[in-house]
């Protein structure tokens, strides 16, 4: 890796245990590593220091938050540096301090791979700010939707404010975005069903689980007293199936545990899915659910009559456990991470812990796709085409496999029990983006694909680079270089970024291109004009002087090198013998 040169290609993501190497300039002793490139991108030109606050703000634009667990070492190092230098710098907090190059390199080094990936736009959604603008548009469009009624079968749900409306997004790379009432807790209700099913699959395997519960849509109401032809609940996403899944968790997984221990075990599993984020329990909702559960008790006894449960099942304990799972409490932020863990094959994006097996997640998403939206499941699968699960608290857990998880929350429900705003948001999402499972990623020209880079073609890359040079935007040019762009690219007329920067008199851009990017100082366009000619034409004498001086130094270096090569004993100057071409 010591001879690695960054030649216009992205560094492979699979090298995390190897040191992240420098971009090598024309003169190899001026090699600059990724920490230096980032420092140069954000440093203040006058003071030569980098503002931590500005750097964290730029990091947030890529989708990473400062409290991301994967950036813990970076944050700890910032705090230690602040404590060490607080008397001298007078910075109020670790986020207001300013760092020199060596401090920055030392602090950022433990997390340089993740941070450099963020600024190279190598996450699943490269243009995160552009994508989130669409999410904001969908949010405000859906906020005007006043249809539906808040669930009222228990008083605790009926008291929810119908104006509450929140959306949180978490990608498989841990990019986060939230808008609206995303920190207000709500009970999981039926959104707990895919989670308990996932735990059962992971611990017991699909063969055991599906001895007791089916995999088909019921075609009936979610709480109807009906079993399939094998005398099993139709699927784990309806009430009968979820109760039976809870009996498997209670009876077959660590049967030595009591009800309290099994509750703690399940909540711990949920927390791991959520990356350790906020998760609680609403006892008032639990007690009300249990008091207003005539239909659920009827389902429980009906299944016991048909011997649906495993042996030694205590029905009362199973029913309490089911109500407890429904009464667990989270917010949009937490649920979005859970959904992202499902989207990421069971690996939590923010902690990188493998919580579930990929096969278990596949089965969960399959049934969410076909059975997750109560009696609207078929139409939702047809119109929206992504796995989702709704709950009567107004929550909607949405999974876009291999891309992201989304949670929406709005208490007003349609007649089928789904959040009116949540369903509309999903329809807006797949109308704009090709997230429907059967959208063609190549030929669906009427939809956007946020997974593609904004400037993916060479032609657009050239336009973007030349525009940055012409406008004197050194920061943008640093980003182009960091992302691996070939800084010598030219347009149809052979004009390079150096031509444009010279013709507009942007001396800082000219210096950056030559000294840091190592571009040739005298390329000719189709009319034979060099950058120095452009600068002379438009009267930018500082640029002319700089280019002429550089050309003179460059010529002297070449002459000195040629003088060294006159000596026949200098092995490095000898040309290798030409190899004869075989006929």
Q: Give tens-digit pLDDT for 265-286.
A: 999 999 999 999 989 999 999 9
* Averaged pLDDT, 356-365: 97
* Averaged pLDDT, 226-247: 92
Is residue 419 classed as helix, strand or coil in its secondary structure?
Answer: strand
Q: With pLDDT > 70 as the criterion, what percentage of the chain qualifies? A: 87
The tokens describing 551, both together, are: 């050309």
Give 21-71 as a DSSP string.
-PBP-SSGGG-B-HHHHHHHHHB-TTT--EEHHHHHHHHHHTT--TT-GGG
Which of the four pLDDT bands, split at 50, 70 and 90, describes residue 23? very low
**CA-CA-CA-CA torsion sign (339, 344, 347, 349):** negative
Supply the pLDDT for residue 415. 94
* Averaged pLDDT, 177-187: 97
Range in 94-108, 176-190, 291-305, 564-578 the model is least confident about:
564-578
* Averaged pLDDT, 186-208: 97
- The C-alpha atoms of residue 305 and residue 119 are separated, in whole angstroms, by 60
Supply the pLDDT for residue 560. 72
The answer on pLDDT for 27 being more than 70 is no
Residues 6+ apart with CB under 8 A from 335: 168, 188, 191, 274, 395, 397, 407, 409
Count the neighbouring beta carbons within 10 Å of the beta carbon of residue 179.
Answer: 18
Supply the pLDDT for residue 458. 56
Supply the pLDDT for residue 569. 53
For the chain, the average pLDDT equals 87
What confidence tens digit (pLDDT) does each residue in 126-153 have? Answer: 999 999 999 999 999 999 999 999 999 8
**What ranges in 274-357 are assigned the alpha helix state H?**
283-291, 294-305, 315-326, 332-343
Range in 14-18, 403-407, 540-544 the model is least confident about:
14-18
What confidence tens digit (pLDDT) does each residue in 497-510 have? Answer: 999 999 999 999 99
Supply the pLDDT for residue 187. 97
Supply the pLDDT for residue 8. 33
The answer on pLDDT for 9 being more than 50 is no
The tokens describing 52, both together, are: 């931590």
The answer on pLDDT for 30 being more than 60 is no
The answer on pLDDT for 361 being more than 60 is yes
The answer on pLDDT for 464 being more than 50 is yes
- The C-alpha atoms of residue 297 and residue 293 are separated, in whole angstroms, by 6
Which residues are part of the catalytic machinery?
Answer: 190, 193, 322, 374, 392
Between these two residues, 462 and 455, which has the higher pLDDT value?
462
Which of the four pLDDT bands, split at 50, 70 and 90, describes residue 10? very low
Which of the four pLDDT bands, split at 50, 70 and 90, describes residue 570? low
* Averaged pLDDT, 231-255: 94
């Amino acid at each position: 890796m010591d001879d690695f040169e960054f030649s216009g290609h992205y560094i492979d993501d699979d090298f995390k245990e190897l040191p992240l190497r420098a971009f090598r300039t024309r003169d190899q002793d001026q090699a600059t590593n990724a920490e230096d490139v980032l420092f140069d991108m954000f440093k203040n030109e006058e003071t030569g220091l980098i503002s931590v606050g500005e750097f964290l703000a730029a990091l947030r634009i890529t989708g990473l938050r400062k409290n991301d667990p994967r950036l813990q070492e970076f944050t700890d190092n910032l705090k230690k540096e602040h404590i060490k230098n607080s008397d001298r710098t007078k910075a109020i907090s670790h986020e207001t301090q300013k760092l020199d190059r060596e401090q920055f390199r030392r602090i950022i080094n433990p997390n340089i791979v993740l941070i450099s990936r963020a600024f190279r736009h190598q996450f699943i959604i490269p243009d995160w700010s552009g994508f989130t603008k669409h999410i904001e548009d969908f949010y405000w469009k859906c906020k005007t939707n006043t249809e539906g009624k808040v669930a009222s079968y228990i008083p605790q749900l009926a008291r929810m404010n119908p104006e509450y409306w929140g959306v949180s997004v978490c990608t498989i790379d841990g990019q986060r975005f939230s808008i609206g009432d995303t920190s207000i807790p709500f009970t999981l209700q039926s959104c707990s069903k895919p989670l308990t099913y996932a735990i059962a699959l992971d611990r017991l395997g699909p063969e055991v689980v599906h001895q007791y519960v089916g995999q088909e849509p019921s075609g009936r109401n979610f709480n109807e007293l009906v079993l399939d032809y094998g005398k099993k609940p139709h699927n784990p996403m309806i009430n009968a199936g979820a109760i039976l899944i809870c009996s498997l968790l209670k009876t077959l997984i660590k049967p030595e545990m009591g009800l309290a221990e099994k509750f703690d075990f399940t909540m711990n599993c949920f927390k791991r899915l959520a990356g350790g984020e906020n998760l609680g329990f609403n006892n008032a909702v639990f007690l009300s659910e249990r008091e207003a559960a005539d239909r659920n008790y009827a389902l429980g006894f009906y299944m016991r009559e048909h011997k649906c449960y495993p042996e030694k099942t205590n029905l009362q304990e199973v029913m309490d456990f089911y109500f407890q799972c429904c009464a667990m409490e989270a917010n949009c932020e937490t649920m979005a991470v859970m959904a992202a863990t499902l989207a990421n094959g069971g690996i939590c994006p923010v902690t990188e812990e493998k919580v579930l097996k990929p096969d278990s997640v596949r089965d969960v998403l399959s049934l969410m796709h076909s059975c997750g939206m109560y009696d609207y499941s078929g139409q939702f699968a047809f119109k929206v085409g992504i796995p989702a699960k709704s709950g009567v608290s107004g929550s909607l857990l949405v999974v876009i496999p291999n891309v992201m998880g989304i949670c929406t929350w709005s208490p007003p429900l349609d007649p089928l029990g789904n959040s009116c705003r949540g369903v509309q948001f999903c329809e807006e999402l797949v109308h704009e983006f090709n997230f429907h499972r059967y959208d063609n990623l190549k030929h669906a020209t009427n939809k956007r694909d946020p997974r593609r880079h904004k400037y993916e073609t060479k032609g657009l890359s050239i336009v973007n680079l030349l525009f940055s040079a012409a406008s004197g935007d050194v920061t943008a040019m640093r980003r182009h270089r960091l992302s691996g762009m070939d800084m010598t690219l030219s347009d149809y007329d052979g004009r390079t970024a150096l031509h444009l920067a010279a013709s507009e008199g942007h001396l800082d851009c000219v210096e950056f291109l030559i000294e840091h990017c190592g571009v040739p100082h005298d390329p000719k366009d189709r009319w034979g004009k060099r950058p120095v000619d452009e600068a002379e034409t438009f009267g930018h004498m500082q640029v002319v002087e700089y280019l002429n001086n550089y050309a003179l130094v460059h010529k002297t270096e070449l002459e000195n090198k040629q003088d060294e090569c006159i000596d026949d004993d200098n092995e490095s100057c000898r040309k290798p013998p030409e190899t004869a071409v075989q006929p």
